[in-house]
């Protein structure tokens, strides 16, 4: 009998790749969207799986809807990927970001508790919760959020841990560092850089405007990162894990690589001070030893290899 996986945020990058992975493992997939009218299933269509996923409307901020949905489908595994996930947008919309990212997690876990459902719960956390920390980041690193987004994700993590320790629910958090793919939303840095660089190459734009690019981040390949989510829920004991590449690269070097690959002069790069964030982490990268040793997760990609994949895939899909 097939397992049932319920995925919130099914229309996002991770939701689509996770659904694809689980379908290949013979899961039945229930994908939650806030409303059918706003349900963007381009990612599912791109991967050729839109007809293999059951899309269900559910407002995660409405406890009664969440309870009814989980009661109806009785999932074996719940992957909570839904969130307002833009750091920069969270400074503009702090209340909405924190309310949704916290209440949605509470409602899902409380529904599982109230229904006494024997299912496993995965919470998508973020490396952003660690703020400016001693590197490399580890699972034991002190949480120190410095943005409304990271505050919301830190709270969601502690809620997940609390339900695990207080009620015995199999609930765990994955602290994922930046991970990219063709399905990444256009408002994220790597995707924006590549799309604008292609416009410059095609004479549709003349410059690329960026904020602070003298910072470093730990970037990875999204299809491999969702494998770690799945592996976390296959363990006998729930725990929290860092999912990362073990190294950081500067945003400036990424732009230079993309420009060189597309034969674009660096004179097209424009630094705009108005795009700098109120607070910024100068460098961050994690240690994925625990995920590799305990989960058996395998990751050895260099990010410049990932960049090449991303640029080539974007070029193939550019009309």
User: 106 to each of 62, 112, 146, 247, how far by Cα in Å?
Assistant: 11, 10, 22, 33
Which position among 17, 79, 111, 128 bears the catalytic label? 128
Q: By the 8 A CB rule, do 114 and 71 touch?
A: no
Beta strands in 131-189 (DSSP E): 170-176, 178-180
Other CB atoms within a 10 A radius of the CB of residue 131 amount to 19
Q: Which secondary structure element, helix H or strand E, spans residue 151, and what is its range?
A: helix 148-167
Backbone dihedral angles phi then psi of residue 97, each to the nearest 5 degrees: -60, -50
Three-state secondary structure call for residue 60: coil
For the chain, the residue count is 319
Which position among 17, 149, 163, 230 bears the catalytic label? 149
Q: By the 8 A CB rule, do 191 and 307 touch?
A: no
Which position among 85, 90, 126, 127 bears the catalytic label? 126
- 139 catalytic? Reply is no
- 302 catalytic? Reply is no
Q: Which secondary structure element, helix H or strand E, spans residue 126, and what is its range?
A: strand 120-126
Q: By the 8 A CB rule, do 14 and 43 touch?
A: no
Contacts for 72 with CB less than 8 Å, ≥ 6 apart: none
Going by the DSSP 8-state scheme, the letter that residue 130 receives in this structure is G
Contacts for 197 with CB less than 8 Å, ≥ 6 apart: 208, 258, 259, 262, 264
Contacts for 297 with CB less than 8 Å, ≥ 6 apart: 227, 228, 231, 243, 288, 291
- 28 catalytic? Reply is no
Helices 189-201 and 303-317, axial angle in degrees (round to 10):
50
Q: Which secondary structure element, helix H or strand E, spans residue 87, and what is its range?
A: helix 87-92
Catalytic amino acids? 126, 128, 149
């Amino acid at each position: 009998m097939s397992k049932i996986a319920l995925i919130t945020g099914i229309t996002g990058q991770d939701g689509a790749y996770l659904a694809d992975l689980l379908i290949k493992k013979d899961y039945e997939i229930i994908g939650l969207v806030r409303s059918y009218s706003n349900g963007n299933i381009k990612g599912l269509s791109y991967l050729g799986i839109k007809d293999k996923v059951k899309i269900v409307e559910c407002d995660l901020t409405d406890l009664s809807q969440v309870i009814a949905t989980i009661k109806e489908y009785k999932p074996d595994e719940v992957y909570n990927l839904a969130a307002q996930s833009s750091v920069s947008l969270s400074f503009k919309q702090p209340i909405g970001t924190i309310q949704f990212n916290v209440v949605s997690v509470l409602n899902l876990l409380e529904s599982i508790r109230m229904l006494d459902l024997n299912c496993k719960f995965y919470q998508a956390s973020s490396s952003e919760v660690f703020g400016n920390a001693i590197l490399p980041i580890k699972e034991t690193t002190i949480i120190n959020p410095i943005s409304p987004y990271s505050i919301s994700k830190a709270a969601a993590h502690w809620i997940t841990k609390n339900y695990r320790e207080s009620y015995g629910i199999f609930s765990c958090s994955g602290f994922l560092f930046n991970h990219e793919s063709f399905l990444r939303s256009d408002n994220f840095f790597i995707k924006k850089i590549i799309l604008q660089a292609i416009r410059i190459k095609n004479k549709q734009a003349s410059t690329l405007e960026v904020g602070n690019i003298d910072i470093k981040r730990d970037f990875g390949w999204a299809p491999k990162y969702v494998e770690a989510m799945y592996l976390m829920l296959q363990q006998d004991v729930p725990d929290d894990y860092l999912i990362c590449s073990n190294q950081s690269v500067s945003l400036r070097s990424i732009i230079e690589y993309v420009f060189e690959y597309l034969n674009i002069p660096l004179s097209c790069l424009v630094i705009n001070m108005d795009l700098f964030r109120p607070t910024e982490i100068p460098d961050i990268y994690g240690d994925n030893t625990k995920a590799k040793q305990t989960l058996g997760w395998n990751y050895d990609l260099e990010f410049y290899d990932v960049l090449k994949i991303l640029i080539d895939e974007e070029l193939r899909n550019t009309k």
